[in-house]
Every structure is written in C-alpha cells, then in structure tokens.
Amino acid sequence: MNSLKSYLKPVLVLMVICLVTSGILAVTNKETAPVIEAAANAKVEQVRKEVLPDADNFDEMELSDLPTTVTGVYKASNGVGYVFMLTAKGYGGEMKLICGMDADGKITGCETLSQQETQGLGSKTTLPKFRDQFQGKDASLEGVDTISGATISSTAYIKAIKDAFTAYDLAKGAAQ
C-alpha cells in the first residue's frame, strides 16, 4: 500500500501541473489570438500598399473560376489596379506571395509573405534580385528567369505570377 501511494502521488502531482499549465495556455491563446490576427492583417494590408503604391484602399473581389494558386483578389478603390494573394508549392513547402498589377496589367510589385524554402537556395525567391525582375512585366513575363539551383521554387513562384494574370483578366472583366 505504501509503495502504491509513493507511486501515485508523483503521478497525480504531475497531472495537476499539466492541467493547470494547459488551462493557462488555453486562456493565453484565447486572449492573444485576436491581437495576433489583427497584426497579421495589418502586415498584409501594408504589403498590399507596397506592391501597389498608388492605391488608396482595397476592396476584396469575389470571383469564381480562379486558378488554385490565387487565394484572394483585391481591387484598388481608386481604380489604379489589383492585388493578388497567391500560394505556390515550392521545394520546401508552401510559399505565400502577393502581386500588384496596375490597371493596364503590368506588375507593380511582388513580395513573399511567407516561405519554407531551403535557406540559400529556394529562399532566394525572397531577394530583390529575383522579385524585382517582375516589375513592369506583362503576361508574357519576357526576360524573367528561374534561379539556378532553385528551379523548383522559382518555377513555382513564376507559375503563381502567371496565374495572377489569369485572375487579372477575370477581375478586369468583372469590374466592367
């Protein structure tokens, strides 16, 4: 009996500690989740303005038949263009991208919101040297090159940008 008691006491103490800790974490998560979400939304809004700097505000568009890589389409309230939220499957996992286009269908900017690509290879898609080659390009993407040694990641990035042009055509048609 004494050995059973000496065995159960530490188990019960650890269970109580785990329950209390879990409860504290649940309350903390409940309280901080809205703050974290608001900060993430503010960052995305800031990046929208970076990739389409002439826009004053953005209105989300509800479009059907979008390519699977296009997760959101936003029209600038002042009509200067559109912003496309994109996902691409790179070598290391999902890449979340954002692409701005002016009203004439020329890219005004591209940014990477998040990525899990191999450091020093696929992660080069986040560098200005790669991203900036899209600026001013139309749907032909003439002159855009993949990254040597990171062709899977850079090809996925380029495909997502091409899909943004498909979404652009849909958005332009819906806006008229």
pLDDT tens track for 46-100:
899 999 999 999 999 999 899 999 999 999 999 999 999 999 998 888 999 999 9
Count, in order, helices (H) and strands (E) of the chain. 3, 5
C-alpha Rg value of the chain to the nearest Å: 23
Compute the distance between CA of residue 101 and CA of residue 149 in angstroms, rounded to an integer: 28
The ranges assigned to domains in the chain are 52-175
Q: What is the pLDDT of residue 15?
A: 92
- Per-residue pLDDT at 1: 60
Angstrom distances, CA of residue 36 to CA of 44, 72, 83, 85, 100: 12, 20, 23, 20, 25
Residue reference for tokens 């002439």: 54
Residues in the chain, how many?
176
- d(CA 9, CA 19) in angstroms, rounded, equals 15
pLDDT at 38: 84
